[in-house]
Amino acid sequence: MAIQRLFIANRGEIAVRVVKAAKTLGIHTIQAHSEADTEMLAVKLADEAVCVGPAPSKDSYLNISAILEAAKATNADAIHPGYGFLSESPAFARTVEEAGLIFVGPSADTIERMGDKVAARQAAEAAGVPVVPGSEGRIDVSEALTVAKKIGYPVMIKAAAGGGGRGIRIAKDEAELKTLAPQAKAEAEAAFGDGGLYIERAILSPRHIEVQILGDGENAVHCYERECSLQRRRQKVWEEAGAMCLDDETRESLCTSAVALAKAVNYRGAGTLEYLYDEAANEFYFIEMNTRIQVEHPVTEMVTGVDLVAEMIKVCGGAKLSMTQDEIERTGHAIEVRLCAEDPFMNFMPWPGVVSALKEPSGEGVRFDHFLSEGYQIPPFYDSLLGKVIVHADTREAAIDKLVMALESMEIGGTKTTAPLHLALAADPEVRKGAFHTQWLEPWLEAGNLSATKGDAA
């Protein structure tokens, strides 16, 4: 049954994006908001809006029972979780399913399976997707040495129970591993109450490449890859489609591997498989799957012309994929930069001001996904992402030129933004060449490249 009344359990620019996509499909939109978000753009654009709790996320956007109650009270038949917040919570997806509503995403079981590091890795291996050589599941300190010898140094040691970057150590030889493994175990015990370890070969200075997939529960297709190697504190700041470092043969096998895994788990909705790419060896390794729409989805939309958000709503409403793989073609190159309410010259200090003036970047091949309006007080309670400037051109060089023009023509008064960072990056010769990796941006910032270009960056 197709979705008729969609409840959007998110905020910011992605809520705006979902409301707009739903409207093009003729779906009635119901926007959730916290007490601090009554003035946000998605509330104004949606057909109706409902308050789900106080400003803190844990009391509103992360409050499963409040969201379910609001969805039922407004007669929603489906819930879109956006990204972040509850989008990858199996408990939330399960609650939505059990309430008889449609969760716009994969099943709770798929979210759970792909959210578990070990289970996701096993699913990838079973589907023939290359993974970083590592231990088979959890190991103890003595096993770590044997496994490391087999997979080769340097190795990365992680807590088996951990998430994110917490407790990760790198040992370049056996002597270092002998020192670091017991430390990692002690820290894992303290942090997670579980001293189990996990080790894998450390791919130093990899590039971050990911593949966009779409599935309808039976069939799956890919919409090619993105490169998101420019990161600060593990947050992506600049994303591209496609990845210029890949040759056609590698791109083909990368994207084919992603589809194989999506089909193997009967994936429904939009999803992304993230890989590390070792440029010197021309090898890629699956690291994790994100079972939701991503911040950087617009670059894929720009090069393929596929409306990922509309398609995910349709397939989750029960439709079959509206396209076959050979209908998905890519043209040109797209770049997205994330505009955050931060002062890049003051160590990215958050800066939630009042938007005093707003002049959007515009032009052919320029897109601006955001949730701003003049007079809008940016709430301090949530993350700092204000929007994304996305450009599309025939070549990567032309796309960077267009990005510079777009950023220079844009005006967001009354708040600081990270636009100067993007202008400085666009002017950097290494960025122009595409010669970077995930460990590139932080040393570049520490070396003072941003402040040095302050005067002429704009």
Partner 1 sequence: MSAIQSPLPGTFYHKPSPEEPPFKAPGDKVAVGDQIGLVEVMKTFIAVNSEVEGTFKGYSVEDATPVTAGAVLAELE
**Residues with catalytic annotation?**
292
HSE value, Cβ hemisphere, 13 Å, CA-based, for 344: 26
Nearer CB in complex with partner 1: 349/458: 349
Task: Please give the Cα distance from 129 to 296 (Å, whole number).
Answer: 23
Question: Could you please report the per-residue DSSP string of 207-226?
Answer: EEEEEEEEEESS-EEEEEEE
DSSP 356-392: -EEE---STTEEEEE---TT-B--TTS--EEEEEEEE
Dmax over CA atoms of the chain, in Å, equals 63
CA separation for the pair 50, 43 (Å, rounded): 9
> Closest separation between CB of residue 426 and partner 1, Å?
25
- Please, which residue, 334 or 341, has the CB nearer to partner 1? 341
Could you list the residues that contact partner 1 (CB under 8 A)?
A: 36, 55-56, 341-342, 349-350, 352, 380-384
Q: Least separation, in Å, of the C-beta of 352 and partner 1?
A: 6
CB nearer partner 1, residue 330 or residue 338: 338
Joined tokens for residue 324 = 């076959």
In three-state secondary structure terms, 126 is: helix
Amino acid at the residue 202: A
Q: Which is nearer to partner 1, 60 or 300 (CB)?
A: 60
Q: Is the bond leading into 154 cis (omega within 30 degrees of zero)?
A: yes
Cis-peptide into 242, omega within 30 deg: yes
**In angstroms, what is the minimal distance from the CB of 298 to partner 1?**
22
Return the number of the residue (12 or 269) whose C-beta is nearest partner 1: 12
Token representation of residue 27? 């779906």
At its nearest, how many Å lie between partner 1 and the CB of residue 376?
14
The nearer residue to partner 1, 333 or 338, going by C-beta atoms, is 338
350 or 365: whose CB is closer to partner 1?
A: 350
- For 279-384, strand residue ranges (E) read 283-290, 333-340, 342-343, 349-350, 357-359, 366-370
Q: How far is the CB of 116 from partner 1 (least distance, A)?
A: 25
Least distance in angstroms from the C-beta of 195 to partner 1: 22
The two tokens of residue 373 are 């309006």
Cα–Cα dist 265/96, whole Å: 20
Name every residue whose Cβ is closer than 8 Å to that of residue 50 and which is 6 or more positions away in sequence.
Answer: 30, 31, 32, 33, 70, 73, 74
Residue 244 burial (C-beta neighbours within 10 Å; 0-12, 13-18, 19+): exposed
Structure token pair of residue 225 = 């890859």
Length of the chain: 458
For residue 288, the minimal CB distance to partner 1 (Å) is 21
